[in-house]
Amino acid sequence: MVFEWGAMDKREDKSVNGCENTGGEREKAQPHIRVENLTMAYGDFVIQRDLNFTIRRGDIFIIMGGSGCGKSTLLRHLVGLHRPAAGRVDFDGIDFWAVEDAERARLMRLCGVLYQRGALWSSLTLAENIALPLQEYTRLNSAQIRELASLKLSLVGLTGFEDYYPAEISGGMQKRAALARAMALDPEVLFFDEPSAGLDPISARMLDDLIIELRESLGATVVVVTHELASIFAIGSDSIFLDAETKTIIAQGPPRDLLEQCSEPRVRQFLTRGEEKKKGDS
């Protein structure tokens, strides 16, 4: 999903409310997804408005902000589950909502999604869960699908767990199995909705490491919705901050750069867990 260049690129190079987008070498990467003037709404109720940002190839792009600001809603717009109230989302220069249904379905198959709760079918084994999209969208025979399901499970460290049911494995393993299913069709873009939710710190760190490993080995672009600071700083190469009060983006850039340079108080409070506000009040 990508947009027209020109003035939009110049605008993105400037600061957002005093929070500079200092991309460095990543500015050389090609845009993969581009969002322009996006407004998200349910009826007359606006969630976020006038969103403009670019996700470049190979990014681990973080969508962050406080609870209820619209992070998961934005993710649903990016994967094609919600039509924007205004604006556009482009994928490799193609306006997602301006094309025919068949072309939009093809673009959606280039995306893999890890849902917040994993969303594995409890009545199916791990291998059968991964087989579902392969059965639906490929012409592979059952033996080939079984072999491919085993390969995807091995990529996330679950070799030998093909015949286990989701209830028979831990929460962290369920997340990894759901990631294996998200990779079933070899997507160009992987979307994660709160991947660390419900995981202990060690499992969360292992999942972060796995995300980086898969990005490097598969060459995929990764988009992560999260409010977990440890993950944000460990894996994020670029980010946007959605603000519930102003209903728009108030900061964008590499997370560590925002921590060091951003002057927007709400962003700083978020990235320091409110510690800066406490210091100011003392």
Of residues 75 and 203, more confidently modeled: 75
Q: What angle do CA 231, 239, 261 make, to 5 degrees?
A: 95
The whole-number pLDDT of residue 12 equals 45
For residue 101, pLDDT over 80 is answered with: yes
Decide if pLDDT at 24 tops 70. Answer: no
The CA distance from 148 to 183, in Å, is 11
How wide is the angle at C-alpha 191 spanned by C-alphas 122 and 174, nearest 5°?
Answer: 30
Predicted confidence (pLDDT) per residue in 208-223, tens digit: 998 898 888 888 999 9
Is the CB of residue 112 less than 8 Å from the CB of residue 262?
A: no
Beta bridge partners of 95: 90
Residue type, 270: F
247-265 residue pLDDT tens: 999 999 999 999 999 989 9
Say how far apart CA 120 and CA 127 lie, in whole Å: 11
Summarize the confidence of residues 16-25 as an average pLDDT.
57
Strands 111-114 and 94-95: unpaired
pLDDT band at 7 (very low <50, low <70, confident <90, very high): very low
For residues 139 and 26, give the distance between their C-alpha atoms in angstroms, rounded to a whole number.
37
Greater confidence, 160 or 19? 160
pTM: 0.84
